[in-house]
Amino acid sequence: MKAIVDKELCIGCGLCESICPEVFRMNDDNLAEAYADVTPELQESAEEARNSCPTEAISIGE
């Protein structure tokens, strides 16, 4: 599965990276980006990161 971060909504709080660093990281603009696929092993933590995002900037799908 793929995770997508909407750069227009992201405020760069870093919560997603702290919850699921295997999928999310902060880029040079201090905004989150999804740099890896969401594998079955990472699905739970990636969904927790999505659900914790204060601006709902993260989506996860096929």
**Mean pLDDT for each 10-residue chunk of the chain (62 residues)?**
97 98 97 98 98 98 88
Q: What is the pLDDT of residue 7?
A: 96
Q: What is the pLDDT of residue 24?
A: 98
CATH code (residue 19): 3.30.70.20
How many domains, the chain? 1
Neighbours of 10 (CB within 10 A): 21
Contact 43, 2 (CB under 8 A): no
CA distance 24 to 56: 14
Cβ partners under 8 Å of residue 10, min gap 6: 31, 32, 55, 57
Q: Which two tokens stand for residue 32?
A: 């989150």
Q: What is the pLDDT of residue 62?
A: 83
Structural domain of 42: 2-61
**SS3 label, residue 41:** coil
